[in-house]
Amino acid sequence: MAYVISDECVSCGTCESECPNEAISQGDDHYVIDADACVECGTCADVCPTGAISQE
């Protein structure tokens, strides 16, 4: 079950730089996670300052 980023994302970029698989990129409105590349490590959710990342 991959992680997802909600609309609470403020596009700070913290999660993108911490992702070991480069599964996170800037989307149209906020950052998005490529479910196929996500290995469900949870690092992104741990570092997100707004709590916008959770398991799908």
- Is pTM beyond 0.85? Reply is yes
Is pLDDT larger for residue 56 or for residue 14? Answer: 14
**Rounded Cα–Cα distance for residues 49 and 1 (Å):** 22
Q: DSSP labels for 17-52?
A: HH-TT--EEE-SSSEEE-TTT-----HHHHH-TT--
pLDDT at 56 over 80: yes
pLDDT at residue 27 in the model: 96
Domains of the chain with bracketed CATH:
3-55 (3.30.70.20)
pLDDT at residue 1 in the model: 77
Q: Are 1 and 40 in contact (CB under 8 A)?
A: yes
**Residues 10-46: pLDDT tens digits?**
999 999 999 999 999 999 999 999 999 999 999 999 9
pLDDT at residue 7 in the model: 96
Cβ neighbours of 5 (radius 10 Å): 22
Two tokens, residue 36: 């196929």
